[in-house]
Amino acid sequence: MTETTDTLFQLGKLAETTPRERSNWAWLRTLWRSKPAVLGSVFLLLLLIGALFAPAIAPYDPNDQAFEFLQAPSLAHPLGTDDLGRDLFSRIVFGARVSLFVGASTVLLSSLIGVLLGLLAGYYGGWIDTIIMRYIDLQWAFPNFIIAVYLVAVFGTGLENVIIAVTLAFLDDFARVVRGMVLSIREREYVLSARALGASDARILWRHVLPNATAPVIVQATVSVSYAILAEAGLSFLGLGVKPSTPTWGLILSDARTFISRGWWLAVFPGLAITLTVLSINFLGDALRDIFDVREYQEEEGGS
């Protein structure tokens, strides 16, 4: 073989073996060692089961106003009843559905869109980068919750609009994180050699850039999920969330306000549910962050 084809052959081999930055399943074992993370995961699992099988687990219908109102926690009603005679425990169990659903779907959508934007901006640079990042920087200057409130003002209330609003509000975090990663990955040998071999942009993005950019996205996702759940609760609390017929934790808290002096359980338990959920996610996320050691991925973040 001639020298040129020999070099090309070597380059080809280099391009085909995209190095993974970490081995795939070792992190699970390290996760297991952190006690808070384990506690958090257990709680989240229970919550998930509770949300999925709510009709089976909740002792009563959450909207059934048959019982005596404002009863303190008792054997029949472990968390008490509210001012309209509804069982609080059932309402909280059903409320888990909305909160988890909104939290998961908004982060999923937001990460997908954010990753796309970050990929395009980081990889192509130039005017695409400028346009996208100017907008993202604009959004980044404001707290995500206020953006969500404002978007609900524009689109209206209701479940779909809340999901849209929260998804859009949390885009800035994902886009920035991904763009930073892409900027550094772009210059690595395996990408350069793939380009030299004439691989299309799409193939490079899909096979080389994306797999190595996922770690910080996962870390960011765990952070954003907790804020998304808090955002949904806040929106519902303010009356800007889902329709009043669906029990969601924020809404239950909002109703509880008028009866604070007569029914402390109405205010304490929904808030406790939110807090424990977010706490578990934070424990889990913190452990994941320690594992992935995000600082290693933040080489480009210095100037921003």
Partner 1 sequence: MSRYLVKRTIASLIVIWAVATLVFFMLRAVPGDPFRAMLADVDPQAADELRRKFGLDRPMYIQYFLWLGRMAQGDLGNSIYGSNVSVSRIIAEAFPRTLSLAGLAFVISLILAISAGIVSAVRKNSALDHTFTFFAFLGLSMPDFWLGILLIIVFAVNLQWLPAIGYVPLSKGFWPWFSHLILPAIAAGTPFSAIVARMTRSAMLEVLNSEYIKVARAKGLTEQSIVFRHALKNALIPVVTVMGIAFALLMSGAVIVENVFAIKGLGRVLIQGILNRDYPVVQGAILVVSVIFVFTNLLVDVLYTVIDPRIRYES
Of 15-23, 54-62, 196-204, 259-267, the window that binds partner 1 (rule: CB under 8 A) is 259-267
Total residues in contact with partner 1, by rule CB under 8 A? 40
Q: Is residue 283 within the footprint of partner 1 (CB under 8 A)?
A: yes
3-class state of residue 81 by DSSP = strand
Residue 50: CB atoms within 10 Å: 18
Closest separation in Å from C-beta 52 to partner 1:
23
Residues near 106 by beta carbon (within 8 Å), at least 6 away in sequence: 163, 166, 167, 170, 228, 232
Q: Is residue 1 within the footprint of partner 1 (CB under 8 A)?
A: no
Residues near 157 by beta carbon (within 8 Å), at least 6 away in sequence: 239, 240, 241, 242, 243
Closest to partner 1 by CB, 31 or 279: 279
Of 14-22, 50-58, 123-131, 276-284, the window that binds partner 1 (rule: CB under 8 A) is 276-284
Determine contact, residues 44/281, Cβ cutoff 8 Å.
yes
Residues near 36 by beta carbon (within 8 Å), at least 6 away in sequence: 283, 286, 287
**CA dihedral of 277, 280, 286, 288, whole degrees rounded to 10:** -100
Q: Is residue 155 within the footprint of partner 1 (CB under 8 A)?
A: yes
Closest to partner 1 by CB, 40 or 118: 40
Closest to partner 1 by CB, 101 or 145: 145
* H helical segments located in the chain: 3-16, 26-33, 35-52, 54-57, 88-124, 126-140, 144-155, 159-169, 171-185, 189-196, 201-204, 210-237, 249-256, 264-292
Closest to partner 1 by CB, 88 or 205: 88
Q: Is residue 267 within the footprint of partner 1 (CB under 8 A)?
A: yes
Residue in 282, 290, 294, 300 binding partner 1, rule: CB under 8 A: 282
Of 59-67, 99-107, 225-233, 288-296, the window that binds partner 1 (rule: CB under 8 A) is 225-233
Q: Which residues bind partner 1 (CB under 8 A)?
A: 138, 141-146, 149-150, 152-156, 226, 230, 233-234, 237-240, 250, 253, 256-257, 260-261, 264, 267-268, 270-271, 274-276, 278-279, 282-283
